């Protein structure tokens, strides 16, 4: 009889404290070194890739524009999160309001869905280029591109908004300490004092309707591409080389996501600082690796990057590479 009035008197927390890496004590400040390196590498590599694609008219084709879009998304995550992380570990600025936490959560997860959507469109771009090359420019026209991309972006926004709104509607009665350095969905939701079954269900739906769906379409596209090349017996070395570049990027991204997913749930296998590092690195490492992979494996981009970084070198050195 006395429990209900007590429960009603408990107010929901509207302000939260990040406790990530607090167990490291004075060593916590050294965590800023890899974060700062990741920030600089990601900012430089992605900016250079975007500049090269935008400045070179020969690269104004759908494939390279999609690579530039991926670089823009990859650069956005470090710009959004790493300055806040550095303030946390260096100056102990650990507080965040619930509204700010929800905004950060939306952009973190929305940018993740954009990466998945871009990988899907890259796979379809290669499908059109290899399997139906005569219709490539028709299918990759701006009009058709927008008709395909806008519904997927609307899907991403709706699913992530549902996740964020449901997280914001919970009551956080008992704790306001987030065991993380950023506002990840599960890191916040696990602090709620009520039932979170609907949050888990919507989160699972988002994984299946976005990540799993996109991965299924990507895999199907590449299977069709390789079967088509094997059946025709034609040499499509350059096109397949580009496919392998996209596949490498996709595998790296999925590996980091799965590692973070498993480390978050298998709590006994890693210390808290190690588990937290893994869950943070899966957000930032692809943003460093992706532009490097595209810059090294895509011949046209590599040559233009080489000329941009070494304008005084003779052109013959570029052609020899």
Q: What is the pLDDT of residues 239-251, one digit of tens each?
A: 666 677 777 777 7
Tell whether the model's pLDDT for residue 5 goes beyond 80: no
Per-residue pLDDT at 264: 53
Tell whether the model's pLDDT for residue 52 goes beyond 70: yes
Per-residue pLDDT at 263: 57
In a domain, 1, yes or no: no
pLDDT average, residue stretch 276-298: 78
Residue holding tokens 């008709």? 147
Per-residue pLDDT at 155: 94
In a domain, 40, yes or no: yes
Tell whether the model's pLDDT for residue 318 goes beyond 50: no
- Confidence tier at 317 by pLDDT (50, 70, 90): very low
The more confidently predicted of residues 119 and 10 is: 119
pLDDT average, residue stretch 272-300: 76
Note the pLDDT tens digit of each residue in 139-196: 888 888 888 888 999 999 999 999 999 999 988 887 788 877 888 888 888 888 878 8
CA nearest 129: which of 242, 239, 250? 239
In a domain, 87, yes or no: yes
Tokens coding 115? 């990466």
Triad 180, 184, 186: Cα angle to 5°: 95
In a domain, 194, yes or no: yes
CA-to-CA distance for 240 and 105, rounded, in angstroms?
A: 37
Tokens coding 195? 């039932």
Q: Are 199 and 159 in contact (CB under 8 A)?
A: no
User: How many CB atoms are located within 10 Å of the residue 142 CB?
Assistant: 8
The more confidently predicted of residues 277 and 128 is: 128
CATH of the domain at 31: 1.20.1070.10
User: How many CB atoms are located within 10 Å of the residue 137 CB?
Assistant: 13
- Confidence tier at 54 by pLDDT (50, 70, 90): very high
Per-residue pLDDT at 240: 66
Per-residue pLDDT at 315: 46
pLDDT average, residue stretch 71-94: 84
Give the range of the structural domain holding residue 304, as residue numbers without chain letter: 12-309
CA-to-CA distance for 46 and 111, rounded, in angstroms?
A: 15
In a domain, 320, yes or no: no
Q: How many domains does the chain have?
A: 1
In a domain, 264, yes or no: yes
In a domain, 314, yes or no: no
**pTM listed for this prediction:** 0.81
Those residues whose C-beta lies under 8 Å from the C-beta of residue 256, and which sit 6 or more positions away, are 281, 282, 285, 286
Residue holding tokens 């408990």? 10
Per-residue pLDDT at 153: 92
Per-residue pLDDT at 1: 39
Alpha-carbon distances, residue 99 vs 78, 83, 103 (angstroms): 20, 19, 6
Note the pLDDT tens digit of each residue in 250-280: 777 777 666 665 655 555 555 666 667 767 7
In a domain, 5, yes or no: no
């Amino acid at each position: 009889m006395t429990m209900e009035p007590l429960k009603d008197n408990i107010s929901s927390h509207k302000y939260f404290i990040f406790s990530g890496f607090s167990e490291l004590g004075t060593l916590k400040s050294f965590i800023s070194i890899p974060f700062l390196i990741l920030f600089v590498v990601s900012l430089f590599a992605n900016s250079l890739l975007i500049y090269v694609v935008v400045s070179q008219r020969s690269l104004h084709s759908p494939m390279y524009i999609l690579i530039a879009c991926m670089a823009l998304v990859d650069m956005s995550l470090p710009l959004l999160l790493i300055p806040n992380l550095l303030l946390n570990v260096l100056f102990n600025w650990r507080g965040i309001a619930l509204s700010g936490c929800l905004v950060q959560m939306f952009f973190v997860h929305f940018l993740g869905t954009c990466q998945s959507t871009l990988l899907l469109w890259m796979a379809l771009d290669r499908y059109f280029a290899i399997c139906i090359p005569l219709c490539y420019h028709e299918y990759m026209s701006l009009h058709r591109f927008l008709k395909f991309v806008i519904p997927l972006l609307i899907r991403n926004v709706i699913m992530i908004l549902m996740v964020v709104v449901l997280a914001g509607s919970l009551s956080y009665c008992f704790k306001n300490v987030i065991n993380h350095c950023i506002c990840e969905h599960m890191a916040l939701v696990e602090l709620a004092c009520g039932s979170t079954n609907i949050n888990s269900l919507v989160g699972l739906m988002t994984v299946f309707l976005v990540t799993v769906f996109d991965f299924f379409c990507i895999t199907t596209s590449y299977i069709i591409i390789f079967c088509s090349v094997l059946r025709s017996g034609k040499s499509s070395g350059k096109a397949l080389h580009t496919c392998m570049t996209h596949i490498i990027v996709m595998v790296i991204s999925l590996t980091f996501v799965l590692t973070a997913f498993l480390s978050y749930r298998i709590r006994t296998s890693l210390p808290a600082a190690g588990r937290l590092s893994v869950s943070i690195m899966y957000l930032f490492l692809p943003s460093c690796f992706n532009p490097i992979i595209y810059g090294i494996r895509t011949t046209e981009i590599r040559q233009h990057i080489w000329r941009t970084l070494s304008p005084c070198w003779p052109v013959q050195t570029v052609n020899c590479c």
